[in-house]
Amino acid sequence: MKIVIAAGGTGGHLYPGIAIAREVLAGAGNEVLFVGTEQGIEARVLPREGLPVKFITVGRLKGMGIASRVRTVLTLPRAVIQSLGLLRRERPHVVVGVGGYASGPVALAAWVLRIPLMIVEPNSYAGLANRLAGKFAEKIFVCFPGRDRQGFFPAEKKVLTGPLVRKGITAGDRDQALKAFGLEAGRFTLFVMGGSGGAHAINMALKDAAPELRSVENLQVLHQTGEKDVEEVAAGYRAASVQAVVLPYIQDMAGAYAAADLVVSRSGATTVAELAVCGKRAVLIPYPFAADNHQEHNARSLAKRGGGEVIVQKDLTPAKLAAEIQRFARGRDRALSPLASTAAEEIVRACKEHVQKN
């Protein structure tokens, strides 16, 4: 079985695609090819993951100025033509669209060529590409814990799954993880991240909140900052006498979740799905410029099932953030029950069944 996965632009679209790809490649003789753009995160991540990718030329529509949107609209026919040529050459059995810049043109090309199309929606609020492509998809997999509450997709095509995450994300051993990160056992561990590149607003809020966090008994912090803020944040913790391990990037996310008692993070699809599967509570600070404000939708959906608290960025202050962390550290909140994650298996099984029938 050969599958083309159209996904990228952001990690929230790409990493669910990678989870699907790994499940496809677990089957003997199967092939996967990603389609993305050279500007998206996929251009950096997929080569590192050893996964093949080809690029088309397409820009963003959501969250851009008028001039950028006009340029994107003008380049869409070219993107569709590129996608048609690519799919004719590659001859996949199925195309899977996970959203992002490249997903729309590839999905349209699949429909024109009568290649079966499966749509995967990892967010609680469906993106524009998936809303449009859902009209001519064979099946639509809604993977977010919040389900398709907005009713974007036809009920007869919709399959509700659990969160879509990478295999092994829950496999981390706490004691081993603490040791690997240079942290101490028996302490309240706060894990802070803002996505793979960090989040400056979160970084600065934690740095400025550090003096108030000294009152948290036995606190230690594991903080992924991204490259730009690592030295400033580390200096802030040192000045406040807060024990912290500050890193620009963390590869072992399973270990980071295993070590954590509480997470402070953005609320992209991948992050929120992983929090749900790992059963971790979080203080969620949605990225305010995400398309359709989907990160806030994600965060509030997780919060409704008791997964934590939401602080929108305009209300984010060091004092407010410190107060939320202190509240969790006092033990007022019990551990969450982890959600099962079989979404990748369900999606790949559906692709395989469709190929066998046709």
Tens-digit pLDDT profile for residues 143-157: 875 555 557 788 888
Statement to judge: residues 111 and 211 lie in one domain: no
Its sign, for the CA torsion 68, 71, 75, 77, is: positive
Asked if the structure places residue 122 within a domain, the reply is yes
3-state class (DSSP) for residue 96 = strand
Q: Cβ-count burial of 89 within 10 angstroms (0-12 exposed, 13-18 middle, 19+ buried)?
A: exposed
Q: Is the pLDDT of residue 268 over 90?
A: no
Asked if the structure places residue 277 within a domain, the reply is yes
Residue 58 belongs to domain spanning:
2-164+341-357
3-state class (DSSP) for residue 195 = coil
Asked if the structure places residue 347 within a domain, the reply is yes
Tens-digit pLDDT profile for residues 71-80: 656 667 888 9
Statement to judge: residues 139 and 207 lie in one domain: no
Domain count, the chain: 2
Among residues 229, 262, 220, the alpha carbon closest in space to that of 247 is found at: 229
Statement to judge: residues 251 and 125 lie in one domain: no
Statement to judge: residues 245 and 274 lie in one domain: yes
- Identity of the amino acid at 63: G
Q: How far apart are the first and last CA of the chain?
A: 12
Statement to judge: residues 186 and 301 lie in one domain: yes
Statement to judge: residues 25 and 46 lie in one domain: yes
DSSP annotation of 85: H
Q: What mean pLDDT value characterizes the chain? A: 88
Statement to judge: residues 28 and 100 lie in one domain: yes
Statement to judge: residues 159 and 178 lie in one domain: no
How confident is residue 181, by pLDDT bands cut at 50, 70 and 90? very high
Distance separating alpha carbons of residues 293 and 104, to the nearest angstrom: 19
What's the pTM value of the predicted model, to 2 decimals? 0.84
Asked if the structure places residue 169 within a domain, the reply is no
Statement to judge: residues 24 and 149 lie in one domain: yes
Asked if the structure places residue 335 within a domain, the reply is no
Question: Which CATH number fits the domain that encloses residue 179?
Answer: 3.40.50.2000
Distance separating alpha carbons of residues 172 and 27, to the nearest angstrom: 25
Statement to judge: residues 185 and 214 lie in one domain: yes
Statement to judge: residues 96 and 193 lie in one domain: no
Statement to judge: residues 234 and 127 lie in one domain: no
Asked if the structure places residue 313 within a domain, the reply is yes
